[in-house]
């Protein structure tokens, strides 16, 4: 049986740090959003793909149980990726 884990902003920020985003411990949603925008704007296609893989892994691991702010940040990130690809 799979047990889903609730993904909060701290969990999401930890994963973003693993991708190389410069986020301090305890960063709030505004800081995370700003850093994500900057990072995605400069990201290589490999880094964009790494973001997508990380998000897909989080979604699978959590069974969709994420705080609304995390869902919003993921949607924002995906929207930026689509914008940059076009």
pLDDT in tens, 2-46: 555 799 999 999 999 999 999 999 999 999 999 999 999 999 999
CA–CA gap between residue 53 and residue 51 (Å, rounded): 5
Is the pLDDT assigned to residue 69 strictly greater than 80? yes
Q: Is the pTM of this model over 0.95?
A: no
pLDDT in tens, 45-67: 999 999 999 999 999 988 889 99
Q: What is the pLDDT at residue 4?
A: 59
7: three-class secondary structure by DSSP? strand
pLDDT band of 1, cuts 50, 70, 90: very low
């Amino acid at each position: 049986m799979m047990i889903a884990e609730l993904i909060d902003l701290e969990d999401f920020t930890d994963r973003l740090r693993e991708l190389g985003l410069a986020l301090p411990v305890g960063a709030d949603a505004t800081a995370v959003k700003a850093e994500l925008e900057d990072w995605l704007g400069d990201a290589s296609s490999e880094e964009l793909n790494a973001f997508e893989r990380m998000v897909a892994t989080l979604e699978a691991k959590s069974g969709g149980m994420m705080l609304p702010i995390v869902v919003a940040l993921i949607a924002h990130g995906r929207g930026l990726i689509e914008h940059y690809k076009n």
